[in-house]
Amino acid sequence: MRKAGGKVLLGLLLLFIVLVFYTVWDNNRIKVVEQDIVIENLADELEGYKILQITDLHEKVFGENQERLIEKINSIDYDVIVFTGDMLISGTSDNYAPIYALLEGIDNKEHALFIPGNSDPKNYVFDQDKNLKKHEFIEGMESRGVHLLESFHSVEKGSSHIHFVDFELSILDLQNRLPIPTEVKSARRSIIQHYNLLLDEMSKLESANDSDVLIALNHYPVVDARIDQIKNNPANIFREYDLIMAGHYHGGQIRLPFIGALFVPEPYYERSGLFPPQDRVKGLWEYKQTKQYVSAGLGSSQTVSFLKFRLFNPPELNVLTLKGK
């Protein structure tokens, strides 16, 4: 009886060792996930247009100076590269080297856009004179060829356009500019002026053609309940997005075979994201004629320190290809 019990324990120990080695290997490989995005009335010039999405790096390193990740990215043919947030492990981290090394090694940055995530620092800070200025992390991103998407950015191909917008700003009523009181501190004044300037940029959407493609970037997925909430709020505008791109969930980070993700950080779900709907954890879904793609990303968060790894959930890059219907 003891001999049989010993064999069981030995078998479990070997299984655990194999699982540990597999998890280490799985956390350090890079999977390229391709997805066609079907868009009605897509202009011929935009057929096959490719968008590479990178998200939730969380300071993860793939080889010395990110050489393996850089090699993988540079092997992909794409037209636009978008970074949808959480490049750092926390908003107070100053470990910029993993993302900076990556940006310095990427060849194609002709059209490169970035929106911050919840673990990245705020876009702006105040200097000693209370003037609004970009955070040093953002300045470093932009000096390495990436454009901070705060409002509206248009990419032209022939006579056709793809408009990229910051989702959260795009849902605001553009008519509601903030007035600047005559007596207000300079810091507050600069914030209001910047906000109104972003709304002015977003107003370029009003002159967009129906044949143009509209893609919204957001770090957080926009779940069904939030879409309904936005549509029912008279102060908001839910636009005719051809696609929303997001990250944040890490594909659940911890996934089990035949079950999927056990948890995603989503306050709009029951149980705050515990046992979420599996068709909303990663990949492409559609709700009320709005397509949304959520990447599982590359890194791991430190929300629970001893769970700072991915299980049965390899890091991924995502290549989205626009296709006419």
Domain boundaries, the chain: 2-324
State residue 78's pLDDT score. 98
Cross-strand partners of 153: 164
Q: 271 has which bridge partners? A: none
Q: Long-range contact list for 71-77, CB < 8 A, 24+ apart?
A: 72/30, 72/32, 72/317, 73/102, 73/105, 73/106, 73/317, 74/105, 74/106, 74/107, 74/108, 76/32, 76/50, 76/52, 76/317, 76/319, 77/50
Per DSSP, the three-state class of 291 is strand
pTM: predicted TM-score of the whole model, two decimal places: 0.95
Question: What parts of the chain have a pLDDT lower than 70?
Answer: 1-3, 182-185, 303-306
Do residues 109 and 82 make contact, with C-beta atoms less than 8 angstroms apart? no
Q: What is the pLDDT of residue 65?
A: 96
Distance from chain centroid for Cα 272: 20
Mapping DSSP to helix (H, G, I), strand (E, B) and coil, where does residue 103 land? Answer: helix
Instruction: Provide the pLDDT for residue 117.
Output: 97
Residue 248 near residue 221, CB atoms below 8 Å: yes
Given this model, what pLDDT does residue 10 score?
Answer: 87
**Whole-number pLDDT of residue 182:** 66
CA distance 247 to 281: 10
| Listed residue (266, 215, 265, 246) closest to 318, CA to CA | 246
pLDDT at 180 (0 to 100) = 76
Topology of domain 2-324 in CATH is: Purple Acid Phosphatase; chain A, domain 2 (3.60.21)
CA–CA distances in Å: residue 260 to residues 136, 275, 308, 311: 38, 9, 18, 10
